[in-house]
Amino acid sequence: MYDEVKVLNPYHMAVQQFESAAEHLKLSEDMREILRQPKRELTVNFPVRLDNGRIKTFTGYRVHHNVNRGPAKGGIRYSPEVTLDEVKALSMWMTWKCAVVGIPFGGAKGGVICDPKSMSPAELERLTRRYATEISIIIGPHSDIPAPDVNTNSQVMAWIMDTYSMHEGYSVSAVVTGKPLSIGGSEGRNDATATGVLFVTRQAAKHTGMRLQGARVSIQGYGNAGSIAARLFHAEGCKIVAVSDTRGGIYNESGLDPAAVLRFKQERGSVVGFPGSQAVSVQDVLEVPCDILIPAATEGVITRANADRVQARIVAEAANGPTTPEADAILFKKGTLVIPDILANAGGVTVSYFEWVQDLQSFFWNVDEITRKLEVIMNRAYASVAEKAEQYSCDLRLAANMLAISRVAEATQIRGIYP
């Protein structure tokens, strides 16, 4: 059993969430045996030549959790904190995420243990191309389609796409998503995660009788998802009262201008010190007075220790795994509506699916059409999860997991066991 006090192990957390849903679904032990562990785990150790001429060996991972509903899909992150258990957890969550919104992918995830902020662009390119070569034995447009994640971006995806294409001898644009538009990327992909968060939060606000106009929003994490969410929620009439990045947070009860904060961060490297704001800790951003809290950084930030101090009425998880099972129970008991990660941030993988489809058919849609399609899928998924939660008198996370796991179990049952 996962023990929050001992260690915040994301894989143990993911398995506990799975077991809880499996128990409610009355899944057989045979089916649980198949679904609780990854199908495939690849660990690679590879040399990279640094700018000073030295050779350094890096360790990377690529994990496939389940592919019974379609090719594996999931991001690649670069971080000193990457672990195999983290990647396994993220791959499992990706399986459920794809299933809950009904797109035909299984779950995968990848990562390299490195500090990208201390590396030059040339070093990052060499690291990316060598890592892509090492994992090329399991990625492909019909087997496993990577995407950006923490500390990776469209440029990293371009390098992976080019490396894979060089091996094949022709351009394979559908091997990754989140690419630049010039080589087969999709309109709307950059904003997709945050846009999906806005769509499901709108539905949650209707459910709880909250008006978004004037609602106070606090965002932990001011990277791609967090900064874009700030812009979108601000445009919706919300008041952004607090934001943070890895160096610290800022707070202003009268509201912050998201665009000005982003410019300040781009110039100074952090939101800390933004004029007219009060300095707060990254932890404080989770606990300031607000109506909507958007954790948009990393996993395990809302725990048994601080859940009681979360003041938001709605928690919309733009990050993966930010809330521990113990914290979930506390928040549910106090009436806080948590929109779980596998639903809240599924906009990213949904538009990645659109990008993959467009690449395969070499026919592209405009951003308005993509946004319309995304809204339909996110609203439908929220309605299905909310209906399940009402049926079982449970929180949205358990409901989303039950819905997703039942779909994956059905696909597994129908396909059967080979041989």
| Residue ranges of E strands in 126-264 | 144-148, 216-220, 239-245, 248-251
Closest to 8 in 3D by CA, of 333, 417, 327: 327
179 is catalytic: no
At 59 the three-state DSSP class reads strand
Phi and psi torsions of 81, nearest 5°: -90, 0
User: What Cα–Cα distance (Å) separates residue 281 from each residue in 79, 220, 246, 271, 284?
Assistant: 21, 10, 10, 12, 5
Residue 224 CB-density burial (10 A; 0-12 exposed, 13-18 middle, 19+ buried): buried
For residue 356, give both structure tokens. Answer: 């993959």
CA distance 237 to 217: 10
For residue 372, give both structure tokens. Answer: 């319309």
CA distance 17 to 395: 12
DSSP at 237: T
**Sequence-separated (6 or more) residues with CB below 8 Å from residue 272:** 245, 247, 248, 249, 250, 279
Q: Which of 73, 88, 97, 109 is catalytic?
A: 109
N-to-C CA span, the chain: 33
| Residue ranges of E strands in 230-342 | 239-245, 248-251, 278-280, 292-295, 314-316, 337-339
Residue environment code for 26-37, b if the CB has 16+ CB neighbours within 10 A, otherwise e = ebeeebbebbee
**Sequence-separated (6 or more) residues with CB below 8 Å from residue 163:** 128, 129, 132, 133, 136
* Residues with catalytic roles: 109
